[in-house]
Structure 1
Amino acid sequence: MTSQTLEVIKTTTHKPKPDPEALGFGKYFTDHMLLIDYHSDKGWYHPRIVPYEPLTLDPAAMVFHYGQTVFEGLKAYKDHDENVRLFRPEENMKRLNRSNERLSIPTLDEKETLSYIKELVRLEKDWIPTAAGKSLYIRPFVINTEASLSVAPSKTYTFLVILSPVGSYYSEGIDPVSIFVEDFYTRAAPGGTGYAKTAGNYSAAYKAQERAVEHQRSQVLWLDGLEKKYVEEVGSMNVFFKIDGEIHTPEINGTILEGVTRKSVIELLRSWDLPVHERRIAMDDLIQAHQNGTLEEAFGTGTAAVISPIGILDYKGTEYTINNNKTGDISNRLHNAITGIQTGRLEDPFGWTTVL
């Protein structure tokens, strides 16, 4: 996609802002959205910001039938000087294109597309909540739009970005969550789409999430698809364990999402001279560590929740309580560091923050 002029059409009817104390997650949407079209004969073209409105698609649009779609998630924050901040947005654009490539969707110009997203966020900056734990969630996504029932990549696509002011992803906030270890359903397998943020990965996980809810647990911990033996990721998060003073997380192997928060956590921990190991982690090893008292802490990481301590693992009918079901020191320190950098409360020694 070559550099193109961004068209901006502003709304004449502004929505009322929602109550900041009742935001939830992804329930309200701002006044405008960003779109870019694609045709195989033209490439990506016509970038535009327009009033938020429903889409009109042909019933035969292939996205409805074959699910050729990907998405991303990042956030915008306001600091104490009312400056708007993004956290490592370049990493999200890289991951979007990795997902595009896996789903046979044409890649976007990352720098140019990010510049359009920044313009949208600038336009909607009054929607960014300022209270602690709240932010403006940014949802870029691509859908295929060709009207055809052929089982093949589409010739036309639309890239969109919508924005939503949000509160905490989990009602527990920074308090520990309880996790159900899924040993029947599979999220991903080698050679599949596990590392891509594509819609089918998430809807296929609903059954396991239903099982978690039946067991009164907040989320699912997925095991590997081949042996149901090795830890992979927690629902919408990557996962970390502190064992005998050292931090362990599943390695990137093509079946788990390469999280931006995961990457940031690893870089932070290493900057603090704490040992971090990216490796295969067997569930049996975690149970052994729990039994001998060396499983000291566990937490999930992700854009939505940032850091989510894990207080209970429910595996094969047995409940394993971690750190007395309390938030651990590492979880607290990481949460404070990352949210502090994101909101400008703390210095950013890594250059992660983009100020608009």
Structure 2
Amino acid sequence: MKEYQIDVQLSSNLKEKPAFDQLSFGTVFTDHMFIMDYTEGMGWHDARIVPYQPISLDPSAIIFHYGQTVFEGLKAYNTKDNEILLFRPDENMKRLNRSNKRLVIPEIDEDFALYALKKLIAVDKDWVPSVEGTSLYVRPFIFATEPYLGVRPSAQYSFVIILSPVGAYYKEGINPVKIAVEGDFVRAVKGGTGNAKTAGNYAASLKAQHDAEKQGYSQVLWLDGRENKYIEEVGSMNVFFKIDGEVVTPELNGSILEGITRKSVIELLQYWNIPVVERKISIEELFAAHHEGKLEEAFGTGTAAVISPIGELSWNGEKITVNNLETGPLAKKIYDSLTGIQTGVAEDPFGWRVVVETE
């Protein structure tokens, strides 16, 4: 492997670590962060690990006004043998560059980005929790830093990685959640930025999510932005349905994010010889399948929660219950298999695990 240069400045004021058995999600951050800058004409430069600290930006920085930013999310896991594992991090770096292309952000060297990520985790290795159900959440992100009020791609960027020890994303854990089908707002539309992991997509989702939570729902089920009938995602997750023995997930169409957990679930089902298909599925078809007794399970998939079973769906004034508000056997099997691979307690026939060298 070629030599990579990263300047490391260790913190002289280490933080007190939280109780790892009482972690929430995304509220506590480690002692260090990675930063690398981009300047037009120079490329990416000055890779460094520094103490975790605020970022100083000019008020006219392009990110504040035109939203030119992308991000990723993945996790590091501590095994019973005190080995730190990552789950398919190369896929995250590939997706980061796909998002970069869509937002006209200079691409990063994926191998170097992964090297930097591993080195940062090695520096803050004592922050990787070992309590069951916990992990170290890894957030790489890139944003435009050039001070300029004009609608064009920035000439300057920063690439940052921060780390956060986390517990469960949903307080319900692997228990089924209640979901409202969104009929007014849309998350994204084909031709937009739905297949990029960019902040604007999430900002656009907040109003519907806020309204759903006030009505007692955990999240919303998004329909397509053109006909308002085809299912796309659930909250910030991809979604799967088991209908009459076959697993169905919405096909990638330009407005759906290509989730790495989604990809892994499909490959896992194929490995088990369980029928799985990527296609359009309308909300009418889903409710009809329930009325016919064919809707067996429904669940979301994503890095933060891994698997989130859906127990209730509300649409057009009608509520349906999925699998008696219980976690289905397939969702449980997928969850156990994925988390088993991620945490090193199960075999990994796919080679998805990546070890972080900490010595």
- What are the superposed Cα offsets for residues 123-165 of structure 1, whole Å, 9 maximum, x if unpaired? 1111011111110000000010000101110000000000000
Task: Write the distance in 1 (CA, Å) between the matches of 2:5 and 2:190.
Answer: 41
The aligned counterpart of 1:47 is 47
The aligned counterpart of 2:267 is 267
Q: Contact 1:179 / 1:217 at 8 angstroms: preserved in 2? A: yes
Counterpart amino acid of residue 255 in structure 2: T
1:210 and 2:220 aligned: no
The aligned counterpart of 2:187 is 187
The aligned counterpart of 1:66 is 66
Structure-to-structure mapping, 1:134-213, within 5 angstroms: 134-213=134-213
Counterpart amino acid of residue 190 in structure 2: P
Q: Contact 1:4 / 1:47 at 8 angstroms: preserved in 2? A: no
Task: Write the distance in 2 (CA, Å) between the matches of 1:49 and 1:229.
Answer: 47
What SS is found at the alignment partner of 1:94? helix
- What are the superposed Cα offsets for residues 102-138 of structure 1, whole Å, 9 maximum, x if unpaired? 0000000001111011000111111011111110000
Counterpart amino acid of residue 266 in structure 2: I
Q: Contact 1:194 / 1:257 at 8 angstroms: preserved in 2? A: yes
Counterpart amino acid of residue 46 in structure 1: D
The aligned counterpart of 1:291 is 291
The aligned counterpart of 1:247 is 247
- What are the superposed Cα offsets for residues 318-356 of structure 1, whole Å, 9 maximum, x if unpaired? 111000000000000000000000000001000000011
- What are the superposed Cα offsets for residues 286-309 of structure 1, whole Å, 9 maximum, x if unpaired? 010000100000000000000010
Counterpart amino acid of residue 254 in structure 2: G
The aligned counterpart of 2:23 is 23
Structure-to-structure mapping, 1:86-105, within 5 angstroms: 86-105=86-105
Segments of structure 1 that go 5 or more residues without pairing to the other structure are none
The aligned counterpart of 1:306 is 306
Counterpart amino acid of residue 320 in structure 2: Y
Q: Contact 1:313 / 1:320 at 8 angstroms: preserved in 2? A: yes
Counterpart amino acid of residue 184 in structure 2: F
Segments of structure 2 that go 5 or more residues without pairing to the other structure are none
Shift of 1:22: 2.6
1:8 and 2:8 aligned: yes
Counterpart amino acid of residue 135 in structure 2: S
Counterpart amino acid of residue 35 in structure 1: I
- What are the superposed Cα offsets for residues 212-258 of structure 1, whole Å, 9 maximum, x if unpaired? 11220001110000011000001111000000011000001110110
Task: Write the distance in 2 (CA, Å) between the matches of 1:232 and 1:176.
Answer: 19
Task: Write the distance in 2 (CA, Å) between the matches of 1:247 and 1:54.
Answer: 45
Shift of 1:20: 1.7
1:351 and 2:351 aligned: yes
Shift of 1:285: 0.4
Task: Write the distance in 2 (CA, Å) between the matches of 1:51 and 1:342.
Answer: 28
Task: Write the distance in 2 (CA, Å) between the matches of 1:217 and 1:275.
Answer: 30
Task: Write the distance in 2 (CA, Å) between the matches of 1:64 and 1:110.
Answer: 26
The aligned counterpart of 1:277 is 277
Task: Write the distance in 2 (CA, Å) between the matches of 1:133 and 1:308.
Answer: 14
Shift of 1:21: 2.9
Which runs of 4 or more aligned residues in structure 1 lie more than 2 Å from their structure 2 counterparts after TM superposition?
none
Q: Contact 1:35 / 1:48 at 8 angstroms: preserved in 2? A: yes
* TM-score of the superposed pair, with normalisation by structure 1: 0.99
Shift of 1:47: 0.6
Task: Write the distance in 2 (CA, Å) between the matches of 1:303 and 1:213.
Answer: 21
Task: Write the distance in 2 (CA, Å) between the matches of 1:3 and 1:103.
Answer: 29
The aligned counterpart of 2:331 is 331
Counterpart amino acid of residue 284 in structure 2: D
Shift of 1:3: 6.1
The aligned counterpart of 2:126 is 126
Give the aligned CA root-mean-square deviation in angstroms: 0.9
Task: Write the distance in 1 (CA, Å) between the matches of 2:260 and 2:168.
Answer: 18
Counterpart amino acid of residue 141 in structure 1: F
Shift of 1:13: 0.6
Identity across the alignment (%): 59
Counterpart amino acid of residue 229 in structure 1: K
Shift of 1:311: 0.3
Counterpart amino acid of residue 70 in structure 1: V
Task: Write the distance in 2 (CA, Å) between the matches of 1:15 and 1:246.
Answer: 49
1:85 and 2:85 aligned: yes
Task: Write the distance in 2 (CA, Å) between the matches of 1:21 and 1:135.
Answer: 11
Task: Write the distance in 1 (CA, Å) between the matches of 2:222 and 2:336.
Answer: 27
Task: Write the distance in 2 (CA, Å) between the matches of 1:274 and 1:209.
Answer: 33
* TM-score of the superposed pair, with normalisation by structure 2: 0.98
What SS is found at the alignment partner of 1:121? helix
Shift of 1:4: 4.4
Counterpart amino acid of residue 179 in structure 2: I
Q: Contact 1:4 / 1:46 at 8 angstroms: preserved in 2? A: no
Q: Contact 1:180 / 1:220 at 8 angstroms: preserved in 2? A: yes
| Corresponding residue pairs, total | 355
Task: Write the distance in 2 (CA, Å) between the matches of 1:123 and 1:72.
Answer: 20
Task: Write the distance in 2 (CA, Å) between the matches of 1:280 and 1:154.
Answer: 37
- What are the superposed Cα offsets for residues 162-207 of structure 1, whole Å, 9 maximum, x if unpaired? 0000000000000001111001101111100001110010011111
